[in-house]
Amino acid sequence: MANRLHIFISVGPDLETEREVVGQAIASLPISLGWEIRYTPLRGEWSDPTTEAVEPCDFYALLLGADISAPMGSEFHMALRTGKRVVAFLKEGPRTAAARVFVKQSRVAWRRFSNEESLRPLLQKSVVDQILEYPEAYRTTVADWETLSALPAELDEQTSRGKEEATPWHGGAGRDAIVVSPQRDLPSEGVPIEGQHDSS
């Protein structure tokens, strides 16, 4: 059984803000589950190769904006070959010829979004649906189950209203990360560093 939900996000270089939204949106879900989030490398980042991170992931999502660039196509095809459910998000706006061909030939159901605020509830709902479908795989507690079960309706309402508040820009959430859960990842006898005081 998994202590963490392993997530891989294929995302183009033109969606830097959306990368940040992904990390923030997932980390803010009210659940005691840890996360491991991996992304398509940014330009200049080295990967060996990123498709190796796709195969073991629990949740795969594709975010497409104006263009598709390597290695997004390889990541997408690895997800298909390994039987992943592909959750695909398409940003409204102009697209290159390559991106238009990819959208037409990919044969996935695209969920359209206009900006990072409209992406946030769509992405959160997709992750929540994954956890609710396989609760035993992630050792979902009764409290987590009850909290998450109420979220899809709330997120649907946010999506239909289109009034989600702008996501604050903090930086750093758009990089590969492991988000720990204090309830699951810290030893029961452990003491948080900030809780210790110097007695000298």
Angle at 128 between CA 124 and CA 134, to 5 degrees: 150
- Whether 155 and 129 have beta carbons less than 8 Å apart is answered as no
Mean per-residue pLDDT for 136-149? 88
Specify the pTM.
Answer: 0.77
Residue range 39-74, pLDDT digits in tens: 998 877 765 555 788 999 999 999 999 999 989 999
- Domain chopping of the chain, boundaries: 4-180
CA count, 13 A, side-chain hemisphere, 191:
5
How much of the chain exceeds pLDDT 90, in percent?
46
pLDDT at residue 194 tops 50: no
For 177, the 3-state DSSP assignment is strand
CATH classification code of 4-180: 3.40.50.10140
C-alpha span between 69 and 110 (Å, rounded): 18
